[in-house]
Amino acid sequence: MIAKPHFHEVSADPAQILREVGLRATQQRTSVLTILAATTDHPTVDDVYDKARQLDDTVSVATIYRTMAVLETAGLIRKLTFDDAPARYEMTPNRDHDHLIDIDTGELIEIPGREMSELRARIVNDLGYDIVSQHTILRGRRKP
């Protein structure tokens, strides 16, 4: 199995990253990677589409959906799904992390640190398993 590079580990050149995972470096793919790498939030497909249209007004929403699926399959981006809300996306992180959703605003906040991952790994190991993937979603309300 080929290790999939993370955007910021290899280079800042989206075309090179695409080639490293065996994909052609199309304009749509490089645009989407550039948009996701530059964002500090977790955009929906519609958010990415709006930004992509600023770069290329001929791009369609169907093209963005297909591009996102290809990049997710290649391991370059991660799809985050939360209940009935639209899927959101992020660059595949170097280290797994969890998310907190503010139930009043819908804000998606990354939870830093390794404590939760270490606790989860210890519990799963004690049960005789290896973690294949993980993602914890906490829902909360800001304290008054």
Instruction: Average the pLDDT over each of 5-9, 96-100, 107-111 and give the range with the smallest value.
Output: 5-9
Residue-wise pLDDT tens digits, 124-138: 999 999 988 777 888
Residues 83-111 as b/e (b if ≥16 CB within 10 A, e otherwise) read: eeeeebbbbbeeebbbbebeeeeeebeee
**CATH topology assigned to domain 98-140:** Dna Ligase; domain 1 (3.30.1490)
How confident is the model at residue 84, as a pLDDT?
77
Nearest to 141 by CA among 99, 102, 98: 102
User: For a pLDDT cut of 70, what percent of the chain falls above it?
Assistant: 91
What is the reported pTM?
Answer: 0.73
Domain ranges of the chain: 7-91, 98-140
Q: Which CATH number fits domain 7-91: 3.40.50.150, 1.10.3720.10, 1.10.10.10, 2.120.10.30?
A: 1.10.10.10
Q: How far apart are CA 22 and CA 7, in angstroms?
A: 14
Residue-wise pLDDT tens digits, 12-42: 789 999 999 999 999 999 999 999 989 888 9
**Can you read off the two tokens belonging to residue 81?**
């799904």
